[in-house]
């Protein structure tokens, strides 16, 4: 009987091992599927966070550009006010007669007109006027651009 019991155990062992191996394979598949799902969720979460971060950075950059633009407009308006004030001051303190009086009056008028223009139009007005001027006179604008580029290159090459 001892031999039978041993034989019976040996016959059961392969079957248990096969069942156990099959069960382990199923568990491994379940674990792999679970890990795959978790990886997809993690990837999705990371992508969502990256998208939110990019949107936040974009919004901050837009806000900063807007802020700088407003500050530049404010500075232009302040410069315009300063030019008008300088023109008025020059008009009051400069001689009113003779050649110097005529020249100081012309400079005062120019300063006051420029100051008013800057206050009323701002940077956007200047840009629009420059665009229109270049459209009406493209060849002279091109030559002016080449000349300014040449002068800048020359000035920068002497610094080195």
Beta strands in 57-104 (DSSP E): none
- pLDDT interval class at 136 (50, 70, 90): very high
pLDDT at res. 8:
47
Which whole number is the average pLDDT over 39-62? 83
Residue 12 has pLDDT above 50, yes or no: no
Using CA atoms in the order 142, 144, 150, 151, what is the torsion angle rounded to 10 degrees?
-160
| Total of domains in the chain | 1
Which whole number is the average pLDDT over 74-83? 88
Q: Which domain holds residue 83?
A: 2-159
Which whole number is the average pLDDT over 5-32? 61
C-alpha–C-alpha distance, residues 89 and 86, integer Å: 5
């Amino acid at each position: 009987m001892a031999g039978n019991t041993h034989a019976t155990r040996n016959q059961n062992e392969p079957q248990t091992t096969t069942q156990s191996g099959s069960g382990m394979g199923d568990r491994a598949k379940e674990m792999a599927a679970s890990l795959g799902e978790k990886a997809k969720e993690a990837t999705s979460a990371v992508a969502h966070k990256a998208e939110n971060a990019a949107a936040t950075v974009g919004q901050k950059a837009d806000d900063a550009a807007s802020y700088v633009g407003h500050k530049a407009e404010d500075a232009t308006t302040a410069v315009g006010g300063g030019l008008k004030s300088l023109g008025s001051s020059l008009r009051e303190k400069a001689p009113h007669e003779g050649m110097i009086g005529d020249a100081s009056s012309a400079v005062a008028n120019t300063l006051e007109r420029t100051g008013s223009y800057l206050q009323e139009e701002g940077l956007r007005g200047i840009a629009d006027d420059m665009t229109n001027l270049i459209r009406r006179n493209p060849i002279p604008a091109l030559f002016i651009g080449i000349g300014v580029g040449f002068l800048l290159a020359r000035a920068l090459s002497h610094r080195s």
